[in-house]
A and B are shown apart, each in its own frame.
Chain A
Amino acid sequence: MFLNILCKKLKICVNNKQNIFWTLMFPIILGTLFTIAFGGIFESYKFEQVKTAVVFDTDNEQVVENAKTFLEGISNDGKKLLDIQYLEYDEAEALLKDGEKVNGIIRVKEDGKLTLDILSNGVLSTIQQSIVTGYNQNVTMIEKVAKEHPEKLYEVIKGVSENTSYVLPKSLGGDNKDPFISYFYNLLAMTTLFASMHSLRIGNNTQANMSKVGARANASPVRRMSFQIAGFIASFLVSLAVVEIGLTVMIFILRVEFGGNILMIYLTSALAALLGVSLGFFVGNLGSFSLDKKEGILVGITLLGCALSGLMYGDMKIIIAEKAPFINKINPAAVISDSYYALNMFGVGGRFFETVMYMVGLSLILTIGGLLLGRKVSYDSI
């Protein structure tokens, strides 16, 4: 009998095409748009040569030679730092003002110092400024030492020409370090939490005073809990299919690199879908509100949770981690997105299992809570 009910419930879920369409289209449409919007941003953060025009305002060959040697010699991890074009000032100015053809103009002055002309502030301008300031301060220092401690001048010039570095660069661990991937984590979190819409009707459809279907179900000799469990399993199966199809489209068609073991990503999504369905099941059994009100509660929980975990503004999660870390611990959307993040940055380990425990634990609490709430309801008393 249970299998019979399960099959019927599965049919009902599959026939709710509108619900399936939107929960499936939601990650696909937004995933596509996110891929278009964020595709190139992280690449632009990566280090590339800074396009720089160099103009000589002097004919002093020594000054020109020193500046050329210095500017061409600056490198970062073996790569040249500046992409230099030697130009007349008018040409350089035209390039500077014409979009992004050069980021700044370094002018070599008669006194051996450099100046920098830029259009706007930014990281590239800061890099150029640090080069120009560094060079000028060496010139100033040599002049100062020559004046105050001439006997030390040779040592200072030797020191300036030495290529000493005080920094040992190390790379951050993890698979995909693109911070914009967190928008996809949150999108998945929202998709899995929206899976709650599939299980929302279970409560109303098993209570005689809430719907006609519920009245019919209660008139049958089958226990109410059987209807509820069958409905829950059917909703979970449909949600699982929808979420995993959405995830597959993101991974294999949109080529989103979530980072971490791909099988674990699928398993995590299954757990997140279970959490979503449990949430819907619990809210569906909560009190005797209308379906609209229950839907409003679910949308509110999902949206607020996703907003706090950074769906609209990526830094929100880290801001909350600083100001009110407990919110990230109890917010289902934040925990789901954190599970994907943990897989990406730390692999299958303590932090990942912490999120898994939360998802399993909360799913159990919500499901049992929903069953208890649905079980206790009685309508008439003689």
Chain B
Amino acid sequence: MIVFKTFFKVLSRYKFSMIMYLAIALAIITIMSGFNSSGNASYYSVSQGIIVLDNDKSEVSRGLIAYLETINYIYEDDYTEEQITDMIYYTKASNYLIIPEGFGEAFLSDSGNPLKIESTKEVDTRMGYTVEAEMDSYLKLTANYMKGGYSFSEADELSRESLADMSAVNMVSEVVIQDDKIFTVFTILPYALLTLLCSAVLPVILRFGTMLISRRTGISSLPSVKKQSMLALASALVTIGMICVLIIISSLLSGEMLTARWALIAIDVIVFSMTAVMIIIALSSFGINPEAAPAITNIVALSFSFLGGIFVPIEHLGGTAKAIGQFLPTYWYSEAIERIKSGGGLNDIAICLGIQLLFGLMVMVIGMLYGRYNLRKAE
């Protein structure tokens, strides 16, 4: 029992870093959960952010901005050049449009040589092109309606109505991908779990394994097996506590609990946690200095998260990243979430769960063999 109690005593030293990692994970979850869309059962145009500087303020420029606003998000505040560069660089906005003074007048006069709208974008990006194409489509259609004898307001209305018509687009996918908040929120949980376990449980186990302490406990009357099982029990209890806290917070943030898909996701989280514990056990066999725990936490959590599709969706990653990612449990955790998103059941995600556990077992066995080798070498 003394080992069990000491574990928690040592753990209390790390409460600050636990709170810190939990706060960071929750901040990321809260921010990212604001970006989920409503699903893809029907077609919708992809929205871009557009910064508009309207120097014309004519009927035409207002009509154009109103049309662009039906698809995109318009920023019309007074931004400095630096702010505009920041927004385009960080893809908050795809284009910065300057509508020149006299644009509306030139457009209505139909001189054949129209004034042009300056569009600053990251060169060659698809998003930037899409906005320019939308502008050109609207202005050309409106100009042609006007050539056909309609006034600007009639042409503007007809163009907007026509361009909003999406009836020509058919979604032929048989699978309806749900894109609700629950998926965004739970996708980020492995990062939280890995950081919490690496920053709190790992250094405690490492401290028990430092030379002086392990020699001291080694000559005590407490059998080694009992010591190890007490450590394992304490680690398991802490992990279960962390899982419960994270699942409850995530469920509250996503506003969904005790549904069929929630249960599947919870199973995925539990299996991943078991894998994470096995990784921790493996790491603790390498005789690392407990002071290195912050660096290890960041290396393990960030690399597993980035390569496993936790922060950046797997489909956006390059070929090499995807290939490497397949050897990580985070990849299969994300894959299971994707399958649940597509309406998959327990049978569909079983392989993902199995691979996660297999990874954990493999790493743990390697770690334990290495630990045993080191012990024999020392003897």
Contacts and interface: CB of A to CB of B under 8 A. Distances in A.
Given A125-B43, A167-B116, A137 B141 contact: yes
Interface string B231-275: 000000000000000000000000000000000000000000000
Contacts of A39: 318, 320-321
Contacts of A311: 302
B78 interface: no
A182 B296 CA distance: 22
A130 B150 CA distance: 23
B121 A165 contact: no
Contacts of A317: 90
A144 B137 CA distance: 18
A279 to B, nearest CB: 14
Q: What bracket does the count of chain A residues touching chain B fall in? A: 35 or more
A333 to B, nearest CB: 12
A116 B40 contact: no
A44 B316 contact: yes
B168 A346 contact: no
A127 B130 contact: yes
A145 B112 CA distance: 21
Interface string B41-78: 00111100000000000000000000000000000000
Contacts of B222: none
Contacts of A381: none
B348 interface: no
Q: Provide the main secondary structure of the chain B interface.
A: helix
Contact of B43 (A118, A141, A151, A346): A118
Given A18-B291, A133-B163, A127 B129 contact: yes
A132 B163 CA distance: 10
A165 B112 CA distance: 10
Interface residues of B, number: 96
A273 B299 CA distance: 20
Contacts of B223: none
A37 B140 contact: no
Nearest to B137: A134
A22 B288 CA distance: 11
Contact of B130 (A34, A48, A116, A123): A123
Given A119-B173, A152-B147, A169-B132, A22 B295 contact: yes
B319 A345 contact: no
Contact of B319 (A40, A47, A114, A316): A40
B88 interface: yes
Given A124-B126, A165-B116, A169-B132, A145 B148 contact: yes
Given A120-B177, A141-B144, A179-B89, A76 B321 contact: no
Contact of A172 (B88, B305, B319): B88
Interface of B: 13-14, 16-17, 20-21, 23-24, 27-28, 31-32, 40, 43-46, 82, 85-92, 107, 112, 114, 116-130, 132-137, 139-141, 143-145, 147-150, 158-159, 162-163, 165-166, 168-173, 177, 191, 289, 291-292, 294-296, 298-299, 302-303, 305-307, 311-312, 316-321, 324
22 contacts: A22-B296, A29-B303, A37-B321, A41-B317, A118-B43, A120-B173, A123-B130, A126-B45, A127-B133, A129-B166, A130-B137, A133-B163, A134-B137, A141-B144, A156-B147, A164-B114, A167-B136, A171-B120, A292-B13, A295-B291, A300-B17, A346-B85
